[in-house]
Structure 1
């Protein structure tokens, strides 16, 4: 779950990282009131889960009330790469001497947390890694020990932090790691981590991704994120307990098990198709779950064909078939379906579909064959 900037900063603040005073608002009048309360100059910042806010006109400096009102009016409702600005973050404008970069993420190859630090902050870290890799320090952390102050000091020193702020940078890294561990985050990033003229270290921005599967340990974080801009199909799927991610293709995909669904996406792509979604109905899916999953897939108007790829273990293929029949009765879909049933009760499942004689439903026996059929069906329905 990705957090908005101000939510990440509030999380940082709970763990001792210095952040600017600010207030989240949703109306122009509240933005002006917040700016007057905080004191000028302030920065009016669009809160959306996308980069490039500044270039799109979503970050503006206001020196007085008139400018605060003007910028709030212009930014609220702004479309930034498909994300509509509904929330603003009003914060006191910081004096900046230097901009650094810091992040904690999971190094999957090393199976350890990874700290990254650079004195080249304020720009895309990918650009730094490509053009001046020597200025990007990377160190793994022993998860049984955690990021110690000593290791953080070593990172800050090797990274080239100014001598008089090395200690402050190290403290910021330790606090950032604390957020990563204690909040079950998969990414905590500060870009830029600024040094003020009076040599204070402060997080001027925040990028945080929390592990949604760990939210049961953090009920206080359950309402974070940008639900106002979330895809309505994904929100409905979440309410139903179905794992669904909308993609930009035109072939609806449903499987049981994340690995099987990922493989299905890859095979469809190999045959020249573009998946419209990732949908894992989960193990043990019954007819009702399958029907709801199909309804989610068809809610995407871009879908031109649907592939059900089921390998029955604890999921019974006859239940999947019943769910498909129920979906056709209730939804009367017009797009072609390709169905591959294999595993537990697959013979019974195929018999149910044969007897139902659903219109525009093709059977497949292999994953490759199913992928080839659904790609052809989608092209034929274009």
Structure 2
């Protein structure tokens, strides 16, 4: 039966492990619902002039390289959660009208690159579930290896699913134990899910970030003049004129509310195993991941390659865009001129994360 989704073959869906998450918490007294200006006459803006949805949009726009299948933002005004999401890039999904309608001082956003599940609106994030105890919105970067077992367990206990995304499993696990309290429901959920995850979770009153015990996927904390930011990469914090504070540590949960940031660990922290492809390709070169500038890492990898595999050459040419830093590092270490020999159409998007090669 045709469900309206574009399904990926097992080969096409094998290495899809990248998305971008964004969270915003603004102090409520400073987050007037009427403030939705994006810039001033001189082209700059203050975060005090923006609502949470606008800041989330700017952050997601800077994380667009992490996913171009779908985009979404959920917001809370302290009493209810509203959401807008759609297929395509941030520029295709959002406009001034729908951003202004997303009034609230807390926001949770996502740009998706299909990992588990098909390409259709049902799998777009954030995912939202309402219950008698309140609403929960979840944005997830990563992939669960025990997704099928957890989904089967939830279905056996009466849960119904509207998507094929592993994020819905996380959301339903949190909702299932929500009556135990926010902190307990988070730790109960995170201790049973296995795999890579960087989570941004939003309730009516809280913004939460969590990172898997191995720290496979990145997540960082930033501060703006009237609140806090959670983001996959520090470039999203820069995009909203924020200050990068630190990375969320592997096995750490942070809960943000009007009192500030509460941090605690779940389970035992294991050795950090950040995905090397974050430094090779996924991340933007101006981001900092786990204290390491991404472009510096690429240049050092290029220099290492030059030492290990020197070749006689006239010039070194990098494949745009992610290969430029490594090529520059190779050229510098080898004493060979760096040249620009391949020009990429800047409007084509990221070719590696295109759904198929067609």
Q: TM-score range by the shorter chain?
A: under 0.3
Relative contact order (C-alpha < 8 Å, sep 6+): which is higher?
2
Q: TM-score, normalised by structure 1?
A: 0.23
More helix by share: 1
**Of the two, which has the highest radius of gyration?**
1
Q: TM-score, normalised by structure 2?
A: 0.25
